[in-house]
Amino acid sequence: MAKLKVNKEMAKQERQWQVEDAMRTLKRAEEIRQDGKLMGEVKKSMESLNKMLMGSAMKPAAPKVMKPVAKKIMKKK
């Protein structure tokens, strides 16, 4: 019984650590977004990495446009 309780406590502590780590990550991400110079360098670095991996810079996806569908009227015979 004690072993089971230790595992539950460890799992609880691990989850708490994950939550705290995620909060630090989100905070740091916001700091990076606010730093225009650093964000610009990050974007350039990502473009360079994409060129190296994909052979060219990635372009944003074109927005999907739904074409209107013409309704056909079926006549009863």
Measure Cα distances from 8 to 12, 15, 76, 77 in Å. Answer: 6, 11, 69, 72
> Which residue in the block uniquely carries the two structure tokens 């780590």?
21
Identify the three-state secondary structure at position 13. helix
* Global pTM value: 0.51
Residue 61 reports pLDDT greater than 80: no
| DSSP-assigned states of every residue in 35-72 | -HHHHHHHHHHHHHHHHHHHSS---PPPPP-PPPPPPP
Kindly report, residue by residue over 11-50, the tens digit of the pLDDT. Answer: 999 999 999 999 999 999 999 999 999 999 999 999 888 8
